[in-house]
Every structure is written in C-alpha cells, then in structure tokens.
C-alpha cells in the first residue's frame, strides 16, 4: 500500500503525551508542510504560533480550564473539574493556528494546513491532537491579553490548536460510518 495512505490510516488523536521535547528538525519539517498546504488564491492569510515554553503552556492550560468552567457547556465543565485534567494532554508543543477572518476561505485554508501538520507529525512518529475548543482561551479579558502575549497578528482570530509530542498512549481506531458516502456514476 502507498506510504501516505498508511500514515493517514495510522494517525489517531492523542490525548496523553510524553514530556520530552520534539526535535527542532522535526518541528521545522512539520511547519514547512503546513505552509505548503493549498490555500485560496495563494493568500496565505494564516499564522502559526509555536509554543514550547513550559511556563506559557501551563498558563494556557490554566486559562483553558478556567474558561471551560465558565463556558456553560456541561461536558467541558465536567472535564475541567478534574484536578488532573490537562487540556493539552501534557504536550510539549502547541501550534496555535489563527487566520485573517476577513479573507475568503481562510478557515478552510487553515484546516488544510492543520491536516498537513497532523499527517507530517504521524509520519515522523509523533502524536497530535487538533482542538477547536481552544477558542475558549480567548473568550475572556485574560484571553485578549494572552493573544497579544503570543504575538497573534492584529485582526487574526483563532481557528484551532494542535498539540504535538511523543505519544504516551496508543488508542485503537474508532469506528467510522460508511453510510456517509453515496455514488452517482
């Protein structure tokens, strides 16, 4: 079977990571794959903020838990009540993906870049987790300050966050529905 297809079929969402950092060479390859993603009109209206500073990762995890507790979304509130819960699974690297939301198709472009990140990470033996709920990071006054502290460009908004690191779990594949495809020949 084709190597790329094997990597896609092998990739899982990892929610528990080992603490050791990923090599810089791997990170650079992954980011190169991100910016090579297709994007509408080659606008490249995306931005990637890479966070590896443990103090900042802890600050983000604390703010995420705080905002989850205030979200009014019961499943998120329940998870955040667990004192051992880490929204990023202890990943040593986060990639925050933001976009100029005024650019047409920017969210789709970011999703394509995110998929490239996930596949590249898996091909290098790393685990990944894509999260949309991290929009909660920026749903408070502290979140606005965090956005500035992270260097998110003015006018750019959260699309998703990807946690990266060495896997500390190996979950089985989840079943996939096959009734979501129809053919017209």
The torsion defined by the Cα of 47, 92, 119 and 175, in degrees rounded to 10, comes to -120
Kindly state the DSSP code that residue 185 receives in the 8-state scheme: -
pLDDT band for 150, please (50, 70, 90 cuts).
Answer: very high
For the stretch 80-90, pLDDT in tens is 999 889 999 99
For the stretch 93-119, pLDDT in tens is 999 999 998 999 999 999 999 999 999
SS3 94: strand
Q: What is the largest CA-CA distance in the chain?
A: 56
The H or E element containing residue 106 is: helix 106-123
The mean pLDDT value of the chain amounts to 95
SS3 14: coil
Contact by Cβ (8 Å): 2, 150: no
Average pLDDT over residues 149-166: 96
Q: Which CATH architecture has domain 15-165?
A: 3-Layer(aba) Sandwich (3.40)
Lowest mean pLDDT among 28-42, 68-82, 156-170: 68-82
SS3 38: coil
Q: Quote the pLDDT of residue 101.
A: 87
The residue ranges of every structural domain in the chain are 15-165
Separation between Cα atoms, residue 161 and residue 76, nearest integer Å:
16
């Amino acid at each position: 079977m084709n190597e790329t297809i094997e990597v896609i079929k092998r990739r899982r969402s990892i929610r528990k990571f080992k603490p050791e950092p990923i090599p810089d060479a791997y990170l650079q390859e992954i980011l190169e794959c991100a910016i090579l993603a297709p994007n509408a009109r080659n606008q490249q209206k995306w931005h990637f903020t890479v966070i590896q500073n443990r103090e900042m990762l802890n600050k983000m995890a604390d703010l995420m838990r705080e905002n989850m507790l205030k979200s009014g979304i019961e499943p998120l509130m329940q998870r955040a009540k667990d004192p051992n819960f880490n929204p990023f699974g202890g990943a040593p690297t986060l990639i925050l993906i933001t976009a100029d939301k005024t650019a047409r198709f920017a969210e789709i472009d970011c999703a394509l870049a995110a998929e490239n990140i996930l596949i590249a990470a898996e091909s290098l033996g790393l685990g990944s987790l894509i999260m949309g709920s991290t929009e909660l990071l920026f749903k408070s006054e502290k979140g606005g300050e965090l956005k500035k502290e992270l260097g998110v460009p003015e006018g750019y908004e959260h699309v998703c966050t990807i946690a990266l690191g060495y896997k500390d779990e190996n979950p089985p594949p989840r079943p996939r529905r096959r009734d979501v495809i129809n053919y017209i020949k």
